[in-house]
């Protein structure tokens, strides 16, 4: 999936993160979940363990990436692994949390990829080291992108926080060890999200990018739609 995101255009990445990834979760809910207690009831513990390992692995992989799209792509992998915990959980609370996370992740990742597309249209690169100090010349875009960043690591006031809280309740009913592993993964998510946001929008302004403008009116409207959903539901 990271390679698919890197090679895809901005609309392709938005469709992949916002719609196509949810088809996999829908398949679990539609075809596997009705038979959970007949077929895989004894394997739920193993499934949740694999999901947490994938969550941690994707979070650590996102830290070392230098392509902004790959960072968001690995973040999507982590969130989808996290949603599996609720889908295969033992209570309705986890299922509601997984469904909410699928919905919130669709808008959050779509907004992040739209923002990356806006940066790429201006600077023709997605390498994180070529972006710095953009808050000085793009304050509106910086604020809008910050909303997506805090939603990405489940900050209170966003829809992802509701999903994360419900999933934490589900994990608490399963295992305390899993709960601590999840907290550690969320901490890693916080670190890489704030790191790459700080690296792009703050610091010394690069000499080759200081003549570009902020969001156009169309870009502002496009970013406002997912932000409105994220904050209103949160």
Total tally of structural domains belonging to the chain: 1
Q: Count other Cβ atoms within 10 Å, centred on residue 127.
A: 10
- Cα–Cα distance between 22 and 83 in angstroms, integer? 10
Are residues 10 and 116 in contact, defined by beta-carbon separation less than 8 angstroms? yes
- Cα–Cα distance between 145 and 162 in angstroms, integer? 20
Mean pLDDT by 10 residues, the chain (234 residues): 81 86 84 70 77 87 86 87 81 85 88 88 82 83 90 87 87 78 82 85 71 81 90 87
- Cα–Cα distance between 82 and 55 in angstroms, integer? 6
Are residues 75 and 109 in contact, defined by beta-carbon separation less than 8 angstroms? yes
pLDDT given at position 37? 64
- Cα–Cα distance between 211 and 200 in angstroms, integer? 16
Query: SS3 string of 175-215?
Result: CHHHHHHHHHHHHHHHHHHHHHHHHHHCCCCCCCCCCCCCC
pTM recorded for the entire structure = 0.87
Q: 124-137 pLDDT, tens per residue?
A: 888 888 887 888 88
CA distances from 46 to 39, 43, 111 (A): 13, 5, 33
pLDDT given at position 188? 85
Tokens of 146: 């910050």
pLDDT given at position 207? 63
pLDDT given at position 85? 82
User: Three-state SS for 26?
Assistant: helix
Q: Which residue segment(s) compose the domain that 64 sits in?
A: 2-233
Tokens of 135: 């808050």
């Amino acid at each position: 999936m990271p390679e698919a995101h890197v090679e895809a255009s901005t609309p392709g990445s938005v469709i992949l993160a916002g719609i196509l990834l949810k088809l996999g979760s829908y398949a679990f809910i539609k075809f596997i979940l009705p038979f959970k207690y007949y077929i895989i009831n004894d394997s739920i513990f193993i499934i949740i363990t694999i999901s947490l390992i994938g969550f941690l692995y994707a979070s650590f992989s996102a830290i070392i990436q230098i392509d902004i799209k790959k960072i968001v792509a690995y973040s999507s992998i982590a969130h989808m692994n996290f949603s599996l915990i609720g889908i295969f959980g033992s209570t309705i609370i986890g299922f509601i949390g997984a469904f909410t996370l699928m919905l919130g992740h669709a808008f959050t990742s779509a907004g992040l990829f739209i923002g990356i597309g806006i940066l790429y249209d201006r600077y023709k690169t997605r390498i994180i080291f070529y972006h710095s100090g953009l808050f000085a010349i793009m304050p509106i875009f910086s604020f809008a992108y910050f909303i997506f960043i805090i939603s990405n690591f489940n900050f209170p006031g966003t829809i992802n926080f509701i999903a994360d809280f419900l999933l934490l309740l589900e994990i608490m009913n399963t295992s305390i060890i899993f709960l601590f592993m999840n907290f550690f993964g969320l901490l890693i998510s916080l670190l890489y999200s704030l790191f790459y946001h700080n690296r792009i929008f703050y610091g010394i302004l690069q000499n080759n990018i200081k003549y570009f403008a902020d969001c156009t009116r169309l870009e502002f409207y496009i970013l406002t739609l997912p932000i409105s959903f994220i904050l209103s539901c949160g």
